Amino acid sequence: MSVFLISCGQTKTFAPPDNIESETKDTVTSYGPNTMVRNIKKDRNGNILIASYLGVFRYDGKWFTNITSGIPSPSFWDVLEDRKGNLWFGTRDSGVYRFNGKSFQHFTTRQGLANNQAIHIYEDKVGNIWFATAGGASCYDGNSFRNFTTKDGLPNNAVTTFMEDTTGKLWFGTRGEACVYDGRTFTVLKNKDGKSFKNVWSIIKDKKGSIWFGDVDGLWRYDDSTFTKVSQKDASAIIEDKKGNIWTTGEVTPNKPNIGNDWVLSRYDAKSLYNKMPTVTEIRSRYEGSKGMLCGMLEDNDGSIFCGSFFGVYRYDGKTLTDFKSKKAQ
């Protein structure tokens, strides 16, 4: 098996990051954010990290702590803890921040970032940090950035997600086509009918090595060399739980006309994943239309699923859906 080790390669010299010494103490509350939560991750201590439009919150099972209260950009899309223990924050329009536990460093287009809207953050096997931005993909090797755009063969500059496979190739989702990068060339992904995949926001690799992603036509699985359409349902975010179930969030046809699409949290049963008609359980958002938007997900240590939404973060334990907003927000 050939293994590709992707390097950021030669880069230009850019300005050093801006240092921000935080004098503001972390804000601690028993309630989570009551606004848009785009992505949810976990840190090395098992705490849940919540990227919201009010800041990035750390949830320890009891308290929510706003760990970004000392920086001026509150609208966040993603969060990641790297192998060195640094926390990275991607913002809606202010670039990215790195937090070493004491101070923040700020990276924008001035430092070489492709675009200041950082949608997704990913660390590859060799420790490079990748940023999916609205203006291309940025690879940070610890010193400087290398950017990939349509000039380098990327099919679309609006990048949404990354995933590194077992051979070291990097899969890209964009708002246009999806593609694979082998360190030299971008190859656009196409199904057996020769059609490319469009608007891919999430790509994961499951325990069996299969690759899952969703596009405008539904949920797809890739096994070695074959793309299989698993469902017609939209899948904007995808995770696999400890039992092998696949979870997605996405839009569905509304119950009522003229309100926009509804959103559901869907679980595809592990025992039927490879059946022609997998068993699917749907948990429908309590809100209609765009206000019912469901975003990134995470499985907690107890098997509960945390899910971001238009109005904050929810936890589903298999029976009950719990939100963490204040009583006033509810």
pTM of the model: 0.92
Q: Please, where in the chain does CATH 2.130.10.10 lie? A: 1-13+27-188
Q: Please, where in the chain does CATH 2.40.10.500 lie? A: 190-197+220-330
Residue type, 78: D
Output the pLDDT for position 207.
Answer: 95
Class of 190-197+220-330 in CATH: mainly beta
Asked whether residue 4 carries a pLDDT value surpassing 80, the answer given is no
Quick: pLDDT tens for 242-299: 999 999 999 887 666 655 678 999 999 999 999 999 999 999 877 877 888 999 999 9
Q: Are 37 and 295 in contact (CB under 8 A)?
A: yes
1-13+27-188: CATH topology is: Methylamine Dehydrogenase; Chain H (2.130.10)
